[in-house]
A and B are shown apart, each in its own frame.
Chain A
Amino acid sequence: MSITQISVFVESKPGHMGRVLGAFAENDINVHGFSASDTGEYGIVRFVVDDTQRALEVLKTMGAAARTADVLCLKLDDSVGQLQKAMETLAAAQLNVAYCYSLASTYIAISVRDIPSAEAALQSAGMAVVSDEDLAEFMVGETM
C-alpha cells in the first residue's frame, strides 16, 4: 500500500512555487501536504494532493517538469516516541529513508526504495500505513 506523490522541478527563485500553487488553486486542487527542500539553484517540491491525475494534467499544460512517485503514508498515534519508533523500525529492517515529510502532523510521507518491505516492517511493529483512498477519507475537514 502506498500513496501517490507529485514531484515538481522548481527553480529557487521568488514566485516559482507560487506559480504552481496558483495553478492548483485555480483548478480546485487541494494540497494535503508538501515538502520543499533546496539544493541552491533548484528544488524538488513534493506534493500530496486530493486529485493527483488532474494536478499532473495542470502541470503538464504549464509545461512544468513533474512526475509522480509512490511513497508510504504512515499514520502515527499522536503520542510521544511514535516518530522515533517508525524510524527505528525501518532502520532495524535495514531500510534507508531517502526523505520524509509530514502531511498533517500525524500522517507522514516516507520515501524508500522498497515500499512492500518497509510497509511489512512497520505493520508488524503495529503501525498503520494508509492508502490514497484512506487518506482522502481521513483528510476531509483536515486540509492544509
Chain B
Amino acid sequence: MGTPMPTPDKIDFTKLPIYKPEVECASRERIRAIQLARLIQQVEYTYARVPWYRSQMDEMGVSPADIKTLEDVRLLPFTDKAALRETFPFGMFATPLDEIVELHSSSGTTGKPIVVGYTKEDMDVWSECIARLAQMAGVTAADRVQMAFGYGMFTGGFGLHYGVQRIGGTMIPAGAGNTERHIQMIEDYGTTVLIATPSYAMHICEVGESMGFDWASSTLQVGLFGGEPCPPGLKTEIESRMHITCTDNYGLTEVMGPGVSGECLAHRDQQHIAEDHFLWEVVDPETGEPVAEGEMGELVLTPLDKKGIPVLRYRTHDLTRVVTDKCECGRTLARMQKVRSRCDDMLIIRGTNVFPSQVEDVISEIDLLAPHYHIVVDNETGLDRMTVEVEIKPEAFSDSYEEMKGFAGEVRDKLRSVLLVTPVVKLVEPGGLTRTMGKAKHVDDLRK
C-alpha cells in the first residue's frame, strides 16, 4: 500500500455531489444484477459480431448461452494486446465504421498502435464515467477546467474534455506545452481545475514559483491527473506547493480510456470502479485463476456495454487488489488499489518477487535520500545480485567513510526488511541519477 494521504481540510468529501447515486450507491446485489444482465447481452453481441471471438469461443466449446452467472465469465477467452494488434486496424470492431463517431489510438511505441472506435453510445458511457470521477474530486458546473493534456489520438485529452462538459463545467482547451501561457491563463480566466499528468503539473508548479506566481492565492483548487501513475510522494508535494487537491483515475485505451475507475477523497490510494460498465476480475498472473477477494493479482476487465470494440476479459498486466465494502464517501462501487506496478515490472531475485515500486516506497521515506533510484540486477557471480543506486542529499554527507558505509548499511537494511532480498546499496552524489519524466526506466536487468 502506498503512503496514506490526508484529505485536505478544505474539502468535506461527504458533502460532494455524486453523479449517479442510483448506481454509485446501489446495493451490491443491485450492482451484480446490472452486471449480469449486461454481461449476458454483451457476450451475445460480441459472439454475433466479432469473428475473432466467435472462433475463439467455438474452439473452447463455449457458447453465449453458457453465461448464466457472473462467475461464468471465467469460461470466456482472455484478450491481450497481441489480439488487438494482429487485427489492426479494424478487425475487432463490432460495428461498421459509419456507426463509429470517433477513433483513438494507443501510442504504439512497441510496434503498431492499437486503434479503438467509439459509437455514440460508447461516447455517452465514456463521458459519464469521467463525469463521475470529476465529481468525486468536487468538480461541478461552476468550474473552469484547463486542459494540459495533449488532445489528438491519446484518449486522455478528449476523454476528460467531454466528461467535464457532461457536468456543465467550462472547458479551457489549452492543450499540452507552453507552460508560461498555462500560468497566464490560470490567472486571466480564473481557472479552478487543472487536468495534467502529475509530472507536468509539478513542472507548471515549479515554473510558476520561479516566475513569482503565488499558488496559495490563485483560483486553482483541483488537479485531475492521469496519463501516468502518480507516486503518493509527488502528489503530496504538488498539493502542498500548489495549494490544490489532486485525484487521479485509471483506465486504458484498450477497454475505453481514462475513467474505468476514479479516486474519491475518502480513500486516497484507491479508486472506485465504474462497475455497471466494467466487470473486474483479479487473477493470478501466472495461472489466470482468480485470487481470493482482496488479494493482489492482475486486473482483468470486461467492458459490459461497449459497442464499437467489445473486449472480453482484457489482461491489463496491472497489479491491484479490489475491495467491495461500502466507502465513507457513500459509494458502494468496488475500490481497486491504485496501480503501482505491472506484472511485467516484477523482478524475480533468487526466487523472491520484487517490485520497483517497493524500492520507491522505501527510498521516499528516508529523508536523507533524494526520491530517485536505479536498480541493476546481474548474476556475474553466479547468484542474482540486486544493486540499488540511491542519491544522497548534500546533508547526508559526512567526512568519514565509516559513517557513509553505516548510512548505506541502514538503507540496505530498510530495503531488506521490505523486499526480503538483500540488495547492494550504492550511494550516488546529488544529481547523479538521471531524471526521467513519466514512464521512467528504473531497472536494468543484465542477467544472462
Contact = CB atoms under 8 A, between A and B. Distances in A.
A60 interface: yes
A18 interface: no
Interface string B416-448: 000000000011111110000000000000000
Nearest to A37: B401
A128 interface: no
B188 interface: no
A44 B431 CA distance: 17
Given A44-B399, A44-B401, A44-B404, A64 B426 contact: no
Contact of B392 (A7, A46, A65, A69): A65
Interface string A64-75: 111101000000
A10 B399 CA distance: 12
Contacts of A11: 428-429, 432
A16 interface: yes
From B392, B397, B429, name the one whose CB has the most chain A CB atoms within 10 angstroms.
Answer: B429
A65 B400 contact: no
Interface in B390-413: 392-394, 396-401, 404-405
Contacts of A16: 429
B397 A67 contact: yes
Interface string A23-49: 000000000000000010110101000
Interface residues of A, number: 19
A7 to B, nearest CB: 4
Interface in B374-393: 392-393
A67 B398 contact: yes
A8 B394 CA distance: 10
A63 B394 contact: yes
A7 B399 contact: yes
Contacts of B427: 9, 41-42
Nearest to A13: B432
Given A39-B401, A41-B426, A41-B427, A60 B394 contact: yes
Contacts of A7: 397, 399
Interface in B152-201: none
Contacts of B432: 11
Contacts of B397: 7, 9, 65-67
A61 B430 CA distance: 12
Contacts of A42: 404, 427-429
Given A9-B392, A60-B394, A67 B429 contact: no
B430 A69 contact: no
Contacts of A66: 394, 397
A65 B394 contact: yes
A69 B403 CA distance: 14
B431 A67 contact: no
A144 interface: no
A98 interface: yes
Contact of A65 (B405, B426, B430): B430
Interface in B242-270: none
B28 to A, nearest CB: 54
Interface in A55-105: 60, 63-67, 69, 98
A60 B395 CA distance: 11
Contacts of B431: 63
From B399, B405, B430, name the one whose CB has the most chain A CB atoms within 10 angstroms.
Answer: B399
A125 B392 CA distance: 42
Contacts of B399: 5, 7, 44, 46, 67, 69
Contacts of B398: 67
B127 to A, nearest CB: 46
A41 B405 CA distance: 11
B401 A9 contact: no
B376 to A, nearest CB: 12
From A5, A11, A16, name the one whose CB has the most chain B CB atoms within 10 angstroms.
Answer: A11
Contacts of A64: 394, 429-430
A39 B432 CA distance: 18
A31 B429 CA distance: 22
Contacts of A41: 426-427
A99 to B, nearest CB: 9
A11 B399 CA distance: 14
A20 B348 CA distance: 40
Contacts of B430: 63-65
Contacts of B428: 11, 42
A11 B392 CA distance: 11
Contacts of A5: 399
Nearest to A10: B429
Contacts of A39: 401, 405
Nearest to B426: A41
A48 to B, nearest CB: 13
A10 B428 CA distance: 8
Given A42-B427, A44-B401, A65-B396, 4 more contacts: A5-B399, A11-B428, A41-B427, A60-B394
18 contacts: A5-B399, A9-B392, A9-B429, A10-B429, A11-B432, A16-B429, A41-B426, A44-B399, A44-B404, A46-B399, A60-B394, A63-B431, A64-B430, A65-B393, A65-B396, A65-B430, A67-B399, A98-B400
Closest 4 CB pairs of A and B: A65-B397, A7-B399, A65-B394, A69-B399
Interface of B: 392-394, 396-401, 404-405, 426-432
